[in-house]
Structures are given as structure tokens and as C-alpha cells.
């Protein structure tokens, strides 16, 4: 939970891919003596430094970082684990006299910190492995049809191609005997008190974001993105694992297998990024209405706005 010391109030920074939120977090952390805590669901994976634009070793040497690259790609990290891990990281930072600065692009993670998660019991390993195997063997469409028969309420909320969420619904149903919809009506315990945080959402013009993201992905290819995907391929992981669905992984895998050209895989990855940006911005508009919007075209103007707001919230 939040420290009673006002100057250790957690600062939350959300923003779409390529919005510059990580650079802002670094600048703030250096100024206020902060520790940066990851709230991006893909930057947790050890094998995905390049394709997820994780902080560099030089960045990590400048300011303490937590929850980056600590989970193997062979595991499925969850929002439930994030809530526990983030709570520990926040407490550790405050215990060391550092201000927690939580930054990322995964809206659900911020929602979980501020509102809590439904108290769904842990899924047994054998149940999880069974449904992942079924997803690989039968495909999302078949599983969606089964979910429609067994839990029509949840099935109606899901796209027939959304393998991850369909599998999750079936896991919960089998493991607990209750619908995911029932569990979601139960309130969880938030990690942070909404009133004791300072919250920003970084906003950048859509066209500029797309241009930045296109350039950044080209730089990822230059900096080892293909080798990163080749290493994942060599691990022969289940294609349904979250790490295997990171932006760029599937198109680059197809290029490695000579199914499409490298240029085609880059174009497909850039298109994926644009679609993800749209989803992120939709989330911000729906769930972050009360957050302070930083509309920026330069780091300098962002910092002036942010520090003025931080000072007003002391």
C-alpha cells in the first residue's frame, strides 16, 4: 500500500507504444529519486528485450528498475501475478526511500493496481496444460464452440479467434466449477489507493505515433530482432504462450521459415503495432478519463507539465 509520506506517492505513467513514456519515467525518476516499475505485459519476458523495447542495461544502471525481463518465455505471466509482484516492488522502493514510478502500456495492469482483481483461484497446472494442448490441437474456433455450449454468457463476449481468453474461460470453468463471468462480479483488493497516486497518460498525435512506431520497428530489426525471434523458435515453445504473441514475433517467424519475405514481415509487424496503438488509445479514453493528460511534442514541455502537476499534488 502507499506510504504515508507524500513525496513517496506512486507516480503512474501510461501511454501508447512509442509515445515516449519510458523516457519520461527515466527523467522523472532521476529528478525525484525514483525506482521504475514495469507495467507492460510483454516487457516481463526475459527473451524479448529488443522487440518489446525494454530498457537498456545503461538505463537500468542509471535508475533502479523492477519487473523487467524476469519471466522466461516458457511461462504465461498473468495480471494476478503482476498485482502481487508490483505490490512487492512498490513496497521495496518506498522502504528504500525511493518514489515508485510505474510505467507501461498495459491498461489492465493499471486497472488491477487501482481496483483489484476478481479473486479467481489459481488454475491447477494439469488443467492449464490440458486446455493449451487442446488449443494447439483443435484451434480457437472449436474451443469457442465448446465454450458456447458450456458457458454461453462468456462465449458471447469473446471473439471466436481469441485463443488466450477462450482458453482462460475454459480453464476457470473446469478448475473452479464456476463461470468466469461469476468470478468477475466479485471485487478484489486494490494495491494502491487511487487518491494517493499521481497519474499521467501521455498522448501523442496518432499519425506521429504511427511514424515513430514504424521507425522504431525498423531499428529493432537492425538491433537484433530477428535473432531474438530465432532464439524463441529454437526453444520450440507452445505458440499459444503470451511471449509468442508479442508484436512482430509471428511475422518474423514466418520470414525465418521463408513463408514470406523480410520486408513483408516488417510491414505486417508495423501494421500489428498500429492496431495495438488503436486498442491502447481506446482503453485510455474508456478507463483513464480522470488521469492527467500530457499532450506533448517535446520532452521539455512534458517535463514542465508533469512537474507542475506533481508539485500541485504534494
- E strands in 133-285: 198-203
Instruction: Note the pTM of the prediction, 2 decimals.
Output: 0.87
Strands 99-104 and 65-66: unpaired
- E strands in the chain: 11-15, 34-38, 65-66, 99-104, 198-203, 292-295
Q: What is the pLDDT of residue 299?
A: 65
pLDDT along the chain (314 residues), means of 10: 60 95 93 96 97 96 97 92 97 97 97 92 88 90 96 95 90 95 89 94 93 96 97 91 94 97 97 96 94 78 80 80
Q: What is the pLDDT of residue 161?
A: 86
Residues 186 and 101: their CA atoms lie apart, in Å, by 29
Q: What is the pLDDT of residue 290?
A: 93
Q: What is the pLDDT of residue 269?
A: 98
Q: Which domains does the chain have, with CATH numbers?
A: 6-117+194-312 (3.40.50.300), 125-184 (1.10.20.140)
Residues 298 and 284: their CA atoms lie apart, in Å, by 21
Q: What is the pLDDT of residue 178?
A: 95
Handedness of CA 260, 264, 268, 269 (dihedral sign): positive
Question: DSSP 3-state assignment of 247?
Answer: coil
Amino acid at each position: 500500500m502507499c506510504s504515508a509520506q507524500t513525496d513517496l506517492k506512486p507516480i503512474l505513467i501510461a501511454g501508447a507504444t512509442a509515445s515516449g513514456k519510458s523516457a519520461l519515467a527515466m527523467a522523472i525518476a532521476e529528478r525525484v529519486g525514483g525506482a521504475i516499475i514495469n507495467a507492460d505485459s510483454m516487457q516481463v519476458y526475459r527473451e524479448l528485450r529488443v522487440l518489446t523495447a525494454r530498457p537498456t542495461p545503461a538505463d537500468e544502471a542509471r535508475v533502479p528498475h523492477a519487473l523487467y525481463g524476469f519471466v522466461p518465455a516458457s511461462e504465461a505471466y498473468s495480471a494476478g501475478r503482476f498485482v502481487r509482484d508490483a505490490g512487492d516492488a512498490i513496497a521495496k522502493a518506498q522502504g528504500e526511500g525511493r518514489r515508485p514510478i510505474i510505467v507501461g502500456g498495459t491498461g489492465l495492469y493499471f486497472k488491477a493496481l487501482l481496483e483489484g482483481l476478481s479473486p479467481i483461484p489459481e488454475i491447477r497446472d494439469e488443467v492449464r496444460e490440458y486446455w493449451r494442448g487442446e488449443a494447439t490441437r483443435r484451434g480457437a474456433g472449436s474451443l469457442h464452440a465448446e465454450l458456447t455450449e458450456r458457458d454461453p454468457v462468456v462465449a458471447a463476449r469473446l471473439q471466436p479467434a481469441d485463443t488466450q481468453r477462450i482458453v482462460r474461460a475454459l480453464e476457470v470453468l473446469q478448475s473452479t466449477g464456476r463461470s468466469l463471468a461469476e468470478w468477475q462480479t466479485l471485487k478484489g483488493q486494490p494495491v494502491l489507493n487511487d487518491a494517493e497516486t499521481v497519474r499521467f497518460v501521455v498522448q501523442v498525435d496518432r499519425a506521429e505515433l504511427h511514424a515513430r512506431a514504424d521507425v522504431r520497428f525498423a531499428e529493432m530489426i537492425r538491433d537484433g530482432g530477428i535473432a531474438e525471434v530465432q532464439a524463441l523458435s529454437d526453444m520450440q515453445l507452445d505458440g499459444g504462450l503470451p511471449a509468442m504473441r508479442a508484436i512482430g514475433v509471428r511475422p518474423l517467424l514466418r520470414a525465418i521459415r521463408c513463408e514470406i519475405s523480410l520486408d513483408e514481415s516488417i510491414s505486417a509487424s508495423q501494421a500489428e503495432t498500429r492496431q495495438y496503438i488503436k486498442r491502447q488509445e481506446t482503453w485510455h479514453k474508456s478507463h483513464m478519463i480522470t488521469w492527467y493528460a500530457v499532450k506533448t511534442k517535446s520532452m521539455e514541455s512534458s517535463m514542465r507539465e508533469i512537474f507542475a502537476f506533481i508539485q500541485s499534488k504534494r
